Chain A
Amino acid sequence: MSERITLDYGSGGRASQRLVKELFVRHLGNPGLNRLDDAALITGLEGPLSMSTDTFTVDPIFFPGGDIGSLAVHGTVNDVAMLGAIPRFMSCAFILEEGLDMGDLNRIAASMAGAARDAGVSIVTGDTKVVPRGAVDKIFINTTGIGSVIANPSPSGSSASPGDLILVSGSIGDHGLAILSHRQGIAFETDILSDSQALNHLTVKLIKEAGPIHVLRDPTRGGLATTLNEIAQQSGVELLIEQEVIPVRKEVEGGCSFLGLDPLYLANEGKFICILPEKSARKALEIMRSDPAGLGAAVIGQVREGRKGRVILRTPLGGHRLLDMLEGEQLPRIC
């Protein structure tokens, strides 16, 4: 039987030290982390800076297309990037459940290392706690990221202006459906992979080459619909979205209709919304479509004066309806 995490590993004593050195530093090591001081020494970061934190709790911890480790890196890297920044450094804190398989933890740390390397960030500080069985579900990871903002002005959810076009970088709902379809209790299988990926290379390219970008947001929890509503509210504008051109994979559409879910409310972990003046939209679309992270990019709508904070969906039939914010969890229906 493989080794398991015991409460000793969170004691701060020798066992903790071994875990840090033999597992975390082995995978994630870099000059900053290897110092093993109380804090990370950061040099060379020029302001203004973008900083973001997020805590990751996902069930299952390994899912098609990723795992909680890569997700914890991508999620924070993407949030930092959405302010028009180049993410550089990260912290990560683990809360481990007593009994967690050491092999699983190894895989997760290795996956974090790979994701961090691909995104060009260094994990320079961290923490580990072990809590009794049942106090958390296997493993929770918090990551905080920081990077230099290169966009001026920095994109913001409150900067959408009437006339701007709304772009999305690819198919919607992949992550949410991949997770749901592999969650225990749902006997239903698809080939859908999570879209979990770092977006910073593409957003940096856009900022440098497409001209001023008003809004960059990644529609994670709550999905595209919820994020669009947040933008409409923050910017005090109305958004008109064309349903027919929103990219949704056939398998996701099929899975959603089976489970009674709406892909527009499913989480994404590797897509972003980009809102910018109409005149730069074509260039932006070209840049996105020539990057692996934006192959399926599309223009999905436009910002207009209208009623503040409202998102309207024009359906393929030509009807108009509200595209509302998600209230709570989407729940499986009866029939």
Chain B
Amino acid sequence: MNLLNKFRDPKLCQNLLSQIKEELEDEFRFMEVCGTHTVAIFQSGIRSLLPQGMVHLSGPGCPVCVTHDREIAAYLALCEKDLLVATFGDLIKVPGPGGRSLKTAQAEGARIKVVYSALDALNIALENPGQRVVFLGVGFETTAPTVAAVIKMAGKQGIKNFSVLSFHKLVPPALAALAADRQISVDGLLLPGHVSAIIGIKPYLFLAEEYGLPAVIAGFEPLDILQAILVMIRQKHESRARVENNYRRVVADQGNLRAMEVMDDVFERCDALWRGLGTIPGSGLAISSKYEEFDASKVYGQELPLVEEIPGCKCGDVLKGLIQPDKCPLFDTRCTPARPVGPCMVSTEGSCAAYHRYVL
């Protein structure tokens, strides 16, 4: 705790803020791509302290927010089968087609259980051998290895009533899609600390090499974030884009080899649908054929239903950093945390929800 307190030290943070103010020339637009960064920036008050000209954008970094309508529709379709559906809490309020969510399905009688990990879901399956349990697998590289490990464990123990509907997504392919999109203007990227702890620095190097984008892996304490912002500004001034690891107390440059190995064993790359960004090649993780008995999409023949987009919702533009949340016509009118229309308003780490909750 003492160590963490140092990374929150108000004096050190204020020093960094004045350096940022001093060194900032005209405008600098930075994007974070991690829900935890989104919340940390709002919650710590950093956002209200950034000098004019510093523009903070929240990219596609909240796993719930990037979950596509069609994926939600698949979850809802699963709920209609005779199954126990285990899910992370964030997902249950996300409205899908027609405004229906797992929460409404639950009220209508679907058996849905909120769990903290895939292991909890596996334990439910173990304790209830007569029930078929499906875990809704969402999340980035941070979450995927633990889900993979649980699938391997289920395989070793020969468990027959457990499977996973995997809509896991990978961060670097999404960053590549953003960097290649000419509509999007970003001067620097704050790279996600948790994801990087798994994948290391290498998968990001193309950002600097191919697109000339400064990018810094950062932790989640105020000092981590402010320091990373300063590093990005300096890189821009020196016209020398680099990918830097500023979170060495957690992130090893090579990543977590063991976690990647487990992930690669259980999953294989596939194209994935991202809300707002569409299909991004090689950005998803499907359960490999070796473990197909645990793949709910195969076990229950659950495909992605075709759905109509939610009219008016600008979550896509928000996720690409094209508009700030309050510029969406639905923001705080038809779309509020009480009655969210789009997923960015649902998750506590969603950019619209954070904006609604924290901005004065």
Task: Give chain A's interface residues, CB within 8 Å of chain B.
Answer: 185-187, 250, 253-254, 259-260, 310, 312-322, 324, 327-335
Contact = CB atoms under 8 A, between A and B. Distances in A.
Interface in B6-53: 8, 10, 13-14, 17, 35-36, 42-49
A331 B42 contact: no
- In the A-B complex, the 8 residue pairs with the closest CB atoms: A319-B45, A331-B89, A315-B45, A327-B337, A319-B48, A335-B142, A332-B89, A321-B358
A329 to B, nearest CB: 8
B115 A322 contact: no
> Which of A314, A329, A331 counts the most chain B CB atoms within 10 A?
A331
Given A322-B358, A322-B359, 4 more contacts: A319-B48, A320-B48, A320-B360, A334-B64
B89 A333 contact: yes
Contacts of B338: 327-328
A320 B46 CA distance: 9
A319 B89 contact: no
Contacts of B115: 185
Nearest to A250: B1
Contacts of B44: 315-317, 319
B348 interface: yes
A317 B89 contact: no
Contacts of A321: 42-43, 45, 47-48, 358-360
A331 B357 CA distance: 16
Contacts of B356: 324
Given A185-B115, A324-B357, A334-B63, A318 B337 contact: no
Interface string B336-351: 0110000000011100
B140 A335 contact: yes
Nearest to B34: A335
A185 B120 contact: yes
A322 B357 contact: yes
A335 B45 contact: no
Interface residues of B, number: 45
A37 to B, nearest CB: 42
Nearest to A261: B348
Contacts of A335: 35-36, 63, 139-140, 142-143, 194
B138 interface: yes
Contacts of B358: 321-322, 324
Contacts of B116: 185-187, 259, 332
B174 to A, nearest CB: 15
B222 interface: yes
B139 A320 contact: no
Contacts of A331: 89-90, 92-93, 114, 348
A34 to B, nearest CB: 45
> Which of A320, A321, A332 counts the most chain B CB atoms within 10 A?
A321
28 contacts: A187-B116, A259-B116, A310-B360, A314-B45, A316-B44, A317-B44, A317-B46, A318-B10, A318-B14, A319-B46, A319-B49, A321-B45, A321-B360, A324-B357, A328-B93, A329-B89, A331-B89, A331-B90, A332-B88, A333-B88, A333-B89, A333-B347, A334-B63, A334-B64, A334-B138, A334-B139, A335-B36, A335-B63
A187 B118 CA distance: 12
Given A324-B357, A324-B358, A317 B49 contact: yes
Contacts of A322: 357-360
A330 B92 CA distance: 12
B10 A317 contact: yes
A316 B8 contact: yes
A186 B13 CA distance: 35
B1 A254 contact: yes
A312 B8 CA distance: 20
A91 B138 CA distance: 48
A326 B299 CA distance: 39
B14 A333 contact: no
B341 to A, nearest CB: 14
Interface in B316-360: 337-338, 347-349, 356-360
A334 B14 contact: no
A185 B121 CA distance: 9
Given A185-B120, A321-B359, A333 B90 contact: yes
B88 A334 contact: yes
Nearest to A307: B360
Interface in B51-69: 63-64
Interface in B133-166: 138-140, 142-143
A331 B101 CA distance: 15
A318 B89 contact: no
A322 B42 CA distance: 9
Nearest to A315: B45
Nearest to A186: B116
B222 to A, nearest CB: 6
A321 B176 CA distance: 33
> Which of A253, A320, A335 counts the most chain B CB atoms within 10 A?
A335
A259 B36 CA distance: 12
Contacts of B347: 333
Contacts of A254: 1
Interface string B84-107: 000011111100000000000000
Contacts of B90: 331-334
A187 B116 CA distance: 9
A320 B45 contact: yes
A286 B345 CA distance: 44
Contacts of B1: 250, 253-254
A318 B357 CA distance: 18
> Which of A250, A312, A327 counts the most chain B CB atoms within 10 A?
A327
A312 to B, nearest CB: 7
A317 B45 contact: yes
Contacts of B14: 317-318
A185 B349 CA distance: 23
